[in-house]
Structure 1
Amino acid sequence: MTTTLGTASADPGEIDTGRLEVGETRDGSPFGLPVAVVNGAKSGKTLYMQAVSDGDELNGVGVVRRVVPQLDPAELSGTILIVGIVNYHAFQVAEHRNPIDDTKMNRAYPGNAAGTSSERIAAATFEAATRADLILDLHQGSTSRMIDEVRVRCGTRHRLHGECLELAKVFGCGYILDQKGPDGQLARAAPDEGIPTVDPELGGAVGWDETSVRKGVEGVFNVLRYYDFLEGQRDPDPQTRAKGFEQFGAPAGGLVDLKPDLGDRVSAGETLFTVTTPFGEPKQTVTADSDGILWRSRRLPQVATGEYVCSVATDIDEY
């Protein structure tokens, strides 16, 4: 059966790319999101994948541009629907939020086809996503430094929690954050429609980084094999799961000297960072409140009083 997404249309055993039109720019020209359809020669499940929901989170499109050329629809069972760049306007100006309506796109789902710019894009991509059996919403830590993780955002009491957690484990970044997300996230909205959805947060960088992109590509192929899109299924590796965060801000202005590295285990009372003057004179020291893992930190060393410095993941187990 022919499968279409926007102007992309593929018969079984074919790949096609095109555009999903969602509105017009300020000069009245129509614009569309870049989309791809990979229609397997054999029947099977449907996977939906999207990237750049936040306009400066580029590791996801780095994954997409490597995954698609490696796909052979003759060897594929089922269908893959891809939106390569969701936040069109923010991507054009390398910003996080949609500059047309100053909205974070991943707070706009399930969207509104007659609403704001972000709501219209969310509605169009949500319609595509809910055609699928599984959803991967590729993100990264924007400009923060961050470990590679997969986020399960539906909440532990959701009827699909187990299926979302399984999908996160299969993706296999090594770390899972299992914490209910804010309203408006795709990974919150799609499980309500009965579709297991996860939010891989592929590191953090300005632009993209090779290590996180490579992990993302591996994660996509892990999913394709485990869920029988491709042959070669393997059992997923155990993952380190965190269920909470403690965030730390600067108690004084100056330059931050972070002590542990990303991914390091820390103990309650252990020094996380010190704040110094430009001459190296100590001003304040901040310690961990609980045992956990250094999960995320700011990229630049300079801070003002109260400015975000780092996050420690807590309530850790192996899943």
Structure 2
Amino acid sequence: MNIKETINYGGLIVSAGEKKTGFAKVLDTDYNFPLTVINGSKEGKTLLITSGIHGGEYPCIEAAIELAQEIDPQKISGQIIIIHPVNISAYYARISYILPEDGKNINRLFPGNPEGTLGDKIAYVLTTEYQDKADFYLDIHGGDIHEYLPPYVYYPGIGENKDALAYAELATNFLNAKYKVKSSATTGAYNSAAIRGIPSLLIERGGRGLWSKEEVENYKNDIKNIMRFLQILPETPISILEKPTLITKAVYLDATTSGCWYPCVKLEERVKKGQKIGEIKDVFGKTLAEYYSDFDSIILFMTTSLAINKDDPIITYGI
């Protein structure tokens, strides 16, 4: 690795030992997302951090904004690229999941398409201009406006570069998470990057349209510890005394119909095989669908809104 005298991301040309902020244009569109590019004064790895692929996930967005302000390029090795947030349209519109311009969930569009709609183009730009230049990728999320979850980390289980997968899993040992989930998904920003050989993680924390200083500080501490692990920061990584619970199998339930969602369990509740975990009724109170646990499990995620649309996520449980 050599010192990168200048780097260029989103049109921001940044010399070694400097930091610049600005808005990055997406191809031939009028869409711009806020970007901070930090070029360290010493040689090192390139870390990409994306926040707010879903615009209502506030703790991760605020953590990214604060980190972008606080990091001193003179004190780091390598480069840190922070997008805060990706889905700035949804952020200002205060809507969940989707990009308002085309109604698509950006996280399901990777690796993207330069000939598609705006969401496809955003995913394509993130893939080709940001992920593919990174040595390590952190995609930070949280419960959206109508979701709630405990702190946990996803690490990828699919990808041709086994060393990259192992490296990402090793990094989870330095995150203060309650649960650690091995993902077999092939969609999503970090999964897409991992499949192409980039060590990648997804961190989750918070939800329900809220954020707190404690959540933001915990996020920042996690990210700084990954920076230590990558030797971007000079200190030794802080060991996490309370190891996360490993989730070896998870079920992600989506709504099979639109209506009113009534969970029968609480977050982190332990449930038995065959136990009813929720139901959807219509606006007249008629039951449309019921959902049961396939095995003894723990509730990891749940939608908290009464209103639900078909194919929206409603609950996640795992062993």
TM-score category (smaller protein): 0.7 to 0.9
**Counterpart of 2:207 in 1: which secondary structure?**
coil
Where does 1:102-251 land on structure 2 (aligned, <5 Å)? Answer: 102-126=103-127, 127-142=129-144, 143-155=146-158, 159=162, 160-183=164-187, 185-230=188-233, 231-237=235-241, 238-246=243-251
1:245-290 deviation per Cα after TM superposition (whole angstroms, max 9, x unaligned) = 346789xx9885755x4334444467757999xxxxxxxx987543
* Distance change (3 Å), C-alpha of 1:308 and 1:191: closer
Give the Cα separation in 2 of the matches to 1:61 and 1:306. 26
Which one is further off, 143-152 or 160-169?
160-169
1:172-214 Cα shifts (integer Å, max 9, x gaps) = 323112121243x121211233210111122322143444333
CA 1:257 to 1:121, structure 2 compared with 1: closer, same or farther past 3 Å? closer
Question: How many corresponding residue pairs?
Answer: 305
The 2-side partners of 1:305 and 1:72 are apart by 46
Paired residues of 1:147 and 1:204 also in contact (CA < 8 A): no
Give the structure 1 partner of residue 50 of structure 2.
50
User: Take 2:120 and 2:307, find their aligned partners in 1: how far apart are those partners?
Assistant: 36
CA contact (8 A) 2:274 2:293 kept: yes
Greater mean alpha carbon deviation, residues 118-127 or residues 291-300:
291-300
Deviation at 1:4, TM superposition (A): 2.3
The offset of 1:242, in angstroms, is 0.9
SS at match of 1:118: helix
Asked if the contact 2:156/2:194 (under 8 Å) is kept, the reply is: no
Alignment partners' CA distance in 1, 2:15 and 2:56: 34
Q: Give the letter for the 2:12 counterpart.
A: A
Q: Which amino acid aligns with 1:139?
A: H
Change (3 A) 1:174 1:103: same
Contact 1:108–1:118 (Cα < 8 Å) also in 2: yes
Whether the 8 Å CA contact 1:256–1:303 is kept in 2: the answer is no
The one-letter code matched in structure 2 to 1:94 is R
SS across alignment from 2:31: strand
Q: Tell me how far apart the structure 2 counterparts of residues 16 and 154 of structure 1 sit (CA, whole Å).
A: 35
SS of equivalent residue, structure 2 residue 248: strand
Structure 1 residue matching 2:63: 3-state secondary structure = helix
Distance of 1:157 and 1:39 partners within structure 2: 30
Query: Match of 2:286?
Result: none
| Residue 305 to residue 108, structure 1, CA distance change in 2 (3 Å) | closer
Change (3 A) 1:114 1:247: closer
Alignment-mate amino acid for residue 121 of structure 1: I
Distance in 2, Cα, partners of 1:191 & 1:307: 25
Q: CA deviation at 1:58?
A: 2.6
Q: Distance in 1 between matches of 2:190 and 2:302?
A: 23
- Is 1:97–2:98 an aligned residue pair? yes
- In structure 1, the gaps of 5 or more residues are 277-284, 315-319
Structure 2 residue runs without a partner (length 5+): 282-289
Q: Which amino acid aligns with 2:118?
A: S
Matches of 1:305 and 1:107, distance apart in 2: 16
Structure 1 equivalent of residue 84 of structure 2: 84
Determine the structure 2 residue equivalent to 1:296: 301
Q: Sequence identity of aligned pairs in percent?
A: 23
Question: 2:36: which partner in 1?
Answer: 36
Aligned residue type for 2:238:
R
C-alpha distance in 2 between matches for 1:275 and 1:124: 38
Distance 1:21 1:234, change over 3 A: same
Asked whether the equivalents of residues 257 and 301 of structure 1 are also in contact (C-alpha less than 8 Å), the reply is: no
Let me know the Cα RMSD of the aligned residues. 3.5
SS of 2:19's equivalent in the other structure is strand
- Measure, in 1, the Cα distance between the counterparts of 2:193 and 2:34: 21
Distance 1:214 1:116, change over 3 A: same
Q: Distance in 1 between matches of 2:195 and 2:268?
A: 32
C-alpha separation between the residues in 1 aligned to 2:194 and 2:231?
A: 21
Structure 2 partner of 1:68: 68
Letter in 1 for 2:204: E
Q: Distance in 2 between matches of 1:219 and 1:162?
A: 19
Counterpart of 2:17 in structure 1 is 13
CA positional deviation for 1:90: 2.5
